[in-house]
Amino acid sequence: MKRIIILVFILFLLTACSSSKEIPENEEITLTISANYDSYGLKTIAQKYEQDNPNIKIFFSSSTDDTQYLKKIETSLMSGTADDILIMGQVDYYNFAKNNLLVDFYELMRSDSSFSEDDYFTNTFESLEYNGGLYVFPLNLAFSMVGVNRHISDELLDTYMKYDKVYYRGLLNMLNRFNSEGRYYLEPNFSPFNMLTNEWNSFVDREKAICDFNNQRFIDLLKDSLEATPPVKNSSGNWYHITSRSSSGFDLEYETEISKQYMFYMAFNSNLQYIIPQQEEKVYTHFLPLTTEDGKLIVSSTKLAMSGNSNHKEAAWEFIKYAIDAKEEYGFDTLMSIKKSIIQKTYSEEIRRILDQATSTEGDIVFITDKEYAHDVAIEKIMNIAAMPLSYQKTDINNDFMKILEPFRLGIMTAEQIASDLQSKTELQLKE
C-alpha cells in the first residue's frame, strides 16, 4: 500500500511538471508591455490576441527616447514595478539576469507540454544563454550575406567560391590581395563602428566579465576597417549608409555602378533573390553568410524579457508564443521567424513569388529554367544558415562608444589608443 501511495505521488509530480499552469477562461487579466519607440509589430498582434482572448487586456507603455527607456527599465526592475513583458531593444540584460530580476524562459518552456523545442531553431536560445538560463526570448532573426564582385578577376571569384561563409578579417584580406583599382571593401559603406557592433562578442565575455581589445588582432581589424571604408557620413552622423532595399533587391544598372567602387556587396536575409541559383550573370554573386571569425552567424533580433515580479507569467508566456505563431499569418518580412515550420512556409512562398517574376537577363533577375530546383536549393540554404551557431549583435553600444571611435576616424587618435580606451570603458561597464 505504501508503494502505491508513493507511485501515485510521483505520477502527480510528473503531471504537474509536464504542463504550464492553465489560465481560467473567465479570469480577467491585464498584461503590461514596456516598449521603446518601436513595438516591433506587437501592438497589432496584441489587438488580435485580445479579440481571440476576451478575458485578456494588453496595455503598452512606450518611450520615444532610448536613454529614458533604459532608465525606466532599470528603475522599474530594481523597484519590482516593471511591466510583465519588456521589449529589450538596446537594453543590456546581463546585469538584470545576474540579479535575478528576470524570468528564466527555460523554466517556462520546459514546464509547458504544448511547447516543443524541436519546433524551433534552438541555436537562437543557446546563443542568448547567461549562466545556463535564458533571460531574453528572441521573436525573430535577421542576418546579412555578402556577395563577391565577379568582374574583378577570375582568381578572386575562384578564391571566394571555395568558402561557405565569410567574416570581416577574411574580406579585408581578400581586398588587400586582389584590389588593384582602389575599390572599397563592402557596400553599403560599412565602418569600424559597424564592425565593432558585429564583432563585439569576439572580444567580450559577459559571463566571465572580461574583455580583450588590447590585442593586435583587434587593432589591425580597426585600422583596416577604416582604410577600406569611404570617408563619408550620412545625415545621422554614422559612417555608413543603409539604402532601403525590397526583397527584389537593386537593379542590374545600380549593381554595375557600385561594382566600380566595391569589391563585396552586403544583402540581407530578406533579399532572397541573392540565394537563388543560376544567376551567374549578376554583378555580385555567390552570397555567403557573414559570420564572426570563429564561424558564428552574426544576427540581430527582437528580444523580449519578462519581469521576475510579474503576477501573470503564464499569461505573458502564452502571449509570447502567440506572437511567434502570428508570424505565419502575416507572411514573409525582413525578420525571420525562429520557428522552423514558419520559415519553411513564408520563405517558400516568397521564393516562388520571385521565381514566378523571373525574366531573362533584363532587370536584376537572370532567367531560371528549373524553378523547382532553384526553389529547393534556396530553401535548403536558408534553413542551413538559420541553424548555424549564432552571435548576436551588440545593439546597446551607446553614443559613448561612438564618441570613442570619432577621434580615430578623424586621425586624432591611433588604433592603439582607441583599443586602450575601449578596454578601460568596457571593463568598467562589465563591473557594474
Beta-ladder partners of 284: 149
pLDDT tens track for 114-143: 999 999 999 999 999 999 999 999 999 999
What number is the average pLDDT over the span 277-293? 81
Question: What are the structural domains, with CATH classification, of the chain?
Answer: 27-141+300-337 (3.40.190.10), 142-297+392-431 (3.40.190)
Residue with more model confidence, 4 or 382: 382
Which range among 5-9, 111-115, 317-321 shows the weakest confidence by mean pLDDT?
A: 5-9
**Contact by Cβ (8 Å): 273, 247:** yes
pLDDT tens profile 343-370 = 999 999 999 888 887 654 444 445 566 8
Strands 140-149 vs 336-337: parallel, antiparallel or unpaired: antiparallel
pLDDT, tens digit, 9 for 90 and up, residues 30-69: 999 998 866 778 888 999 999 999 999 999 998 877 778 8
Integer Cα distance of 430 and 208 in angstroms = 9
Parallel, antiparallel, or unpaired: how do β-strands 184-187 and 210-211 relate?
unpaired
Assign 315 to helix, strand or coil. Answer: helix
Return the C-alpha cell found at 399.
553614443
pLDDT reported for residue 246: 40
The pLDDT value recorded for residue 38 is 64
Q: Look at residue 154 and tell me whether its pLDDT is greater than 50.
A: yes
How far apart CA 340 and CA 285 sit, in angstroms, is 27
Single-letter code of the amino acid located at 62: S
Q: How far apart are CA 371 and CA 352, in angstroms?
A: 8
Among the ranges given (277-286, 404-413, 417-426), the one the predictor scored with the smallest mean pLDDT: 277-286
- Can you list the alpha helix ranges (DSSP code H) found in 262-395? 313-330, 340-356, 371-386
pLDDT at 305 over 60: yes
Q: Can you tell me the distance from the alpha carbon of 208 to that of 215, in angstroms, rounded to the nearest whole number?
A: 18
Q: Tens digit of pLDDT for each residue in 175-199?
A: 989 987 788 888 765 667 777 778 8
CA 350/CA 346 separation, integer angstroms: 6
Amino acid letter for position 367: F
Q: Compute the distance between CA of residue 186 and CA of residue 189 in angstroms, rounded to an integer.
A: 6
Q: Is the pLDDT of residue 219 over 60?
A: yes
Give me the pLDDT at residue 225, please: 85
Residue 189 is predicted with a pLDDT of 58
Average pLDDT across the chain, whole number: 82
Q: Distance between CA 152 and CA 259 in Å, rounded?
A: 9
Confirm if 410 and 367 have CB atoms less than 8 A apart.
no
Read off the pLDDT of residues 244-275 as tens digits, 9 standing for 90 and up.
344 344 556 667 777 788 889 888 888 888 88
Q: What is the pLDDT of residue 27?
A: 78
The two most distant CA atoms of the chain are separated, in Å, by 87
> Which has more pLDDT, 359 or 237?
359
Q: Say what the pLDDT of residue 244 is.
A: 35
266's grid cell: 552586403
State the pTM of this model: 0.84
Q: pLDDT class for 17, splitting at 50, 70, 90?
A: very low
% of the chain beyond a pLDDT of 90: 45
